[in-house]
Amino acid sequence: MTALLSLSGVTAFYGAIQALRGIDLTVEKGEIVTLIGANGAGKSTLMMTICGSPRARSGQIIHEGQDITQWPTHLIMRRRIAQAPEGRRIFNRMTVHENLLMGAEVAGRADTADGLEQVFTLFPRLKERISQRGGTLSGGEQQMLAIGRALMSRPTLLLLDEPSLGLAPLVVRQIFGAIRDLNRTTGLTVLLVEQNAYQALRLAHRGYVLVNGSITMAGTGSELLARPEIRAAYLEGGHT
């Protein structure tokens, strides 16, 4: 069987700095896979490289049997891959509604009512703000909007870069719950980057540990959770 997404020997650079040093990674259909690692380990770069920006310098990225390594970003995104990028990147001068419609636009879908309803069920807050401009939302609301916009394209593969950033604990729980539900009911495949490694590993089927642009460990979520070195490096907040 072929994986939904597989990376082999992928390297990427930001300017002169090598951010990824030969990444091998697979995501099977219907899986939730998480990437954990310190700030600056290359997690976000890996997400962006899958989307073709920056382009991988060497190695291969295969999506549904197709080599997309050298594809331009906009074509990659049309393969029902959606991303809620780091830094939100919402359209500041468009309303919440327009932002969400833009998400559906990318996938070329005319039927958006279901998508909107799904997003509003997940984030009732966005429904309250539907005609407000994106730029006037609070930070956390913008994060909700970025995730909602990604969901609007009805992706088969969802790339989430720190979805919990700036969100209230209650909402974080809702989001993690929603990811699990979507995964169970619709078979949505998710690649997740998250600082909160504990929650991420509990949610994910499998996880990869990224250190300095290389994968140093891989395993199921519970396996990784049990490893003492993981606990020491990413889970425990020290000893205050």
Partner 1 sequence: MLSVSGLIMQFGGLRAVDDLSFDAKAGDITAVIGPNGAGKTTVFNCITGFYRPSGGSIDLAHPGGASYPLHTMPGHRIASAAKVARTFQNIRLFAGMTVLENLLVAQHNTLMAATGFGVLGVLGLGRYRAAEAAGIEKAKFWLDAIGLTARADDPAGALPYGAQRRLEIARAMCIDPVLLCLDEPAAGLNPRESDELNQLLMRIRDGGCSLLLIEHDMGVVMRISDHIVVLDHGKKISDGTPAQIRNDPAVIAAYLGEGEEDEVPV
Partner 2 sequence: MTALRDAFLSALVALGLFAPLVGLVTTSGEHGLSLELRPIATAIVVGLVFFGRLVVLSRRGRTRTETTQANRALAERVTRAGKYVTPILLVAAVALPFTGSRYYIDLGTLVLTYIMLGWGLNIVVGLAGLLDLGYVAFYAVGAYSFALLATTFGLGFWTCLPLAGIFAAFAGIMLGFPVLRLRGDYLAIVTLAFGEIIRVVLINWVSLTNGPNGITGIPRPTLFGLAFSMDGGPGTFADFFNVEPAVIQRIIFLYYVILGLALLTNWVSLRLRRMPLGRAWEALREDEVACRSLGINVRNTKLTAFGIGAMFGGFAGAFFATRQAFISPESFTFIESATVLAIVVLGGLGSQLGVALAAIVMVGGLETLRDFLSFLGDQMDSPLFSGIASELPLYRMLIFGLALVVMMVLRPRGLVSGRTPSVALHKVKDIAPDLVAQGRG
* Closest separation in Å from C-beta 20 to partner 2: 12
How far apart are alpha carbons 240 and 130 in whole angstroms? 42
Q: Do the Cβ atoms of 51 and 11 come closer than 8 Å?
A: no
Indicate which of partner 2, partner 1, none lies near residue 137 (CB less than 5 to 8 Å, by partner kind): partner 1
Element housing 149 (H / E): helix 139-152
DSSP strands (E only) in the chain = 5-14, 17-27, 32-36, 58-63, 66-67, 81-84, 157-161, 189-193, 206-211, 214-220
Q: Which is nearer to partner 1, 78 or 173 (CB)?
A: 173
CA 84 to chain centre: 6
How far apart are alpha carbons 164 and 44 in whole angstroms? 14
Q: How many C-beta atoms surround the C-beta of residue 219 within 10 A?
A: 16
Indicate which of partner 2, partner 1, none lies near residue 139 (CB less than 5 to 8 Å, by partner kind): partner 1
Contact region with partner 2 (CB under 8 A), list: 11-19, 95-103, 190-198, 206-214: 11-19
**Residue numbers 16-55 binding partner 2 by CB under 8 A:** 16, 54-55
Indicate which of partner 1, partner 2, none lies near residue 237 (CB less than 5 to 8 Å, by partner kind): partner 1
Please count the residues of this chain forming the interface with partner 2, following the rule CB under 8 A: 6
Indicate which of partner 2, partner 1, none lies near residue 131 (CB less than 5 to 8 Å, by partner kind): none
Q: Do the Cβ atoms of 233 and 225 come closer than 8 Å?
A: no
Q: Which of 57, 79, 125, 180 contacts partner 2 by CB under 8 A?
A: 57
Residues that bind partner 1 (CB under 8 A): 38-40, 87, 125, 129, 132, 136-141, 143-144, 162, 165-173, 176-177, 180, 195-199, 202-203, 233-238, 240
Residues that bind partner 2 (CB under 8 A): 13, 15-16, 54-55, 57
